A and B are shown apart, each in its own frame.
Chain A
Amino acid sequence: MSTVDNSVSGAVPGAPAPRRQPAWLKLWPVQALLFLALLVAVWAVTEALNLVIPAYQGQILLFTGINVIITLGLNLITGVTGQLSLGHAAFMAIGAYAAAICTVSLHLPFALALLLGGLVAALFGVVLGFPTLRLSGDYLAIATLGFAEIVRVVNTNLKITNGAIGYYGIQKRVDLPLVAMLAVAAVAAMAWLENSRNGRAMRSVREDEIAATASGVNTTFYKIQAFAVGAFFAGVGGGLYAHTTTFIQPTDFGFLKSVEQLSMVVLGGMGSIAGTVLGTIVLTAAPELLRFMSNYRMLVYGATLIVLMIFRPGGLLGGVDLRDAVRRALMLGRSRTVRTSVGGDGQ
């Protein structure tokens, strides 16, 4: 893993502030308000864009947004915490079915259904988190694969999911502004999580579990937490997916879906939020952008993957950190990057 990691040493206590920030900016209510303002701004902008962008391109953007939310969850599990998961689509399936059942059978409001979908998925994330205490690497990958198969088979046989026939009659509730807002919120939440003490602990689990334990990091806790949070994101994404396509089947969330999501994370750059977002954009848009090649479309898609991985083995943005860019733009708190770049300005 060649990710440039500056966050572990990010908060050096007592380091001189490079640029004076107003004290009120550091208050959490102010930051929360700023964050809300950002979300509202995103909503307003996409609402306006929605009028301009043709529906087809809007639809692609919408799926991209949903996939971003899901792959950010996988990035937390696999990229940040280093637990290779081949069963992320299972969490998406759980969230999709849970949210769909909530709105269709239980007549719950859509927002609550999305949240519940995410929470149910998170619950299963905790369940799957436990094997990770004993397994690692390839062995864990096989266990997650097995978990995904179990979820698929259970969904195929349960009555409440309507079995193999699939769950239909879901109302279309998703539009671009909603997805854009949630995707931005997901990026911000991930950036905040990864840059916190919690996130640094997760990274330490990835870098060296034994050393992390020796330094007093409760690796069990952080691994299960990564699975829970990652699954939550996948669950919310699944709920959005179900309310976009209006019809879901167990086969929609098979092994290939998990591999596709892992490809997005790996292609973008494991452990990098910006990379994950970019990888997801590329792999979601590629099948549509390549339509002019008609029958050679999927061939070129595969070849593109191979070529990219040969020339960028660390992923497209392996080593690039979106968090610092966001911080600089919003002047939220301090990080070493700010210091360095400000120092650079002074030269």
Chain B
Amino acid sequence: MRRLSAKGFLALLLVAAMAVSVAGCSTGSSSGKSDNGPIKIGFLGAKTGNVAIYGLNGLKGLHMAIDEINAAGGVLGRQIQLLEEDDAGQKDQATNITTKYVTADHVAAIIGDPTTGITRVAGQIANSHETVIMSFGSTGTGVVEIGPYVFRDTLLDAIAGPAMVDYAISKKGWKNFALVTSKNNDFSVSLSSIFRDAIKAKGGNIVVEESIQDGDTDFSGQVTNIKAKSPDVIVFSGYYTEGGLIMKEVRKQGLNNVVMIGGDGLQGADFWKLGGEATEGSISYAGFSSEQASGKTADFIKKFHDKYNEDPELFAAQAYDAIYIIASAMKAANSADPKVYRDKLAQTKNYEGVSGTITFRENREPLKSPVYLLQVSGAKDPASAKFTLLDKVPVK
């Protein structure tokens, strides 16, 4: 029993050591808000885990933008220093990091998270510590409502969805819609309700609504129901994997001249790899396209290609814009203190970014123009198939 108590004591020691080392790894508190030294910007996003691709792509854009800004002399004569912590797509880790950024590092702004869910969690903390947070990927509801320090520079589904529906009804003449929702996908559920409202508002009919689950592979039941109502087009709010498989089933059941339209969730090569020729002509929207770029965007794409040897995608472009928007607000306010430059940031109007023109409305929701409509072409040969630019729809 003495041995056990010695072990118990050891355990207590271990616990104490743990607590001390946690306390000890505080990074000091040289303030990013102070008037000299670098301006600290915190990156919030996943570098590991399921949604790491968004965070990693965003980081590429961030690194590029910060290198450019620093090479040009920085902001207000100060260099920008990027702090990168991985939240692994987990809410508890995101809570920890955001707390660290705002209380220990005193960052001037947080850029991230690319997902709506974590932005809701982190936004709460950043806002209560009066630190600006700008998400470069969240499109869902309940984000900027958190408070005056929460921003995002994304193309909202609430803007792009109606634009897409408008194009389908007025340009394509489609009237009868089949709406398919993936029930266990938060993005799909909220986008479907946007599509539903837009179709009704613009005079279309939803002739049939079907629901699926992410991860399903057999859609014969749903497609049979859709076929019975003979819609002009299928609206699918989910992701490319299920989208491709649904279209394959649609053609298999002999519904030959119906295409799929949807959100940017359809944008993945697996869409035509799984769906094959059935996906030809399907349309989705996006806040960024590297095709037919001009001016600033073309420049960005070229430089990005030189640096990373690949074309930039949405998250890289939006992260790139996020840091520039914040930098210009700091310049306008002549301060890197979020309490000071926040007002200028909220007044951002017609900012020419690489992912479009950005204006923050009264409620800080971004108004982005244009909406890029992209169409699948060459799906017969999945190796060379791609999304080509169908139209740029300006948003007012």
Contacts and interface: CB of A to CB of B under 8 A. Distances in A.
A54 B106 CA distance: 12
Interface string A309-345: 0000000110111101100100000000100110010
Contacts of B93: 287-288
A59 B96 CA distance: 6
B84 A294 contact: yes
A53 interface: yes
Given A54-B23, A164-B183, A247 B85 contact: no
Given A244-B95, A317-B7, A322-B8, A156 B26 contact: no
Contacts of B78: none
Interface in B20-46: 21-23, 25-26
B15 A166 contact: no
A324 B2 CA distance: 11
A56 B104 contact: yes
B124 interface: yes
A321 B4 contact: yes
Given A56-B104, A321-B4, A341-B5, A63 B15 contact: no
A59 to B, nearest CB: 4
Q: How large is the interface on B (under 10, 10 to 19, 20 to 34, 35 or more residues)?
A: 35 or more
B103 interface: yes
A166 B117 contact: yes
Contacts of A249: 117, 186
Contacts of B22: 57, 60-61, 285, 288-289
B248 to A, nearest CB: 24
Q: How large is the interface on A (under 10, 10 to 19, 20 to 34, 35 or more residues)?
A: 35 or more
Given A60-B22, A61-B22, A319-B4, A54 B95 contact: no
B91 interface: yes
Interface in B65-110: 84-86, 88, 91-93, 95-96, 99-100, 102-104
A274 interface: yes
B183 A163 contact: yes
A48 interface: no
Contacts of A163: 183, 186, 189
Given A56-B99, A156-B184, A168-B142, A274 B11 contact: yes
Interface of B: 1-2, 4-5, 7-8, 11, 14-15, 18-19, 21-23, 25-26, 47-48, 84-86, 88, 91-93, 95-96, 99-100, 102-104, 117, 120-121, 124, 128, 140-142, 183-186, 188-190
Interface of A: 4, 53-61, 63, 153, 156-157, 163-166, 168-169, 172, 241, 244-250, 252, 274, 277-278, 281-282, 285, 287-289, 291-292, 294-295, 297-298, 316-317, 319-322, 324-325, 328, 337, 340-341, 344
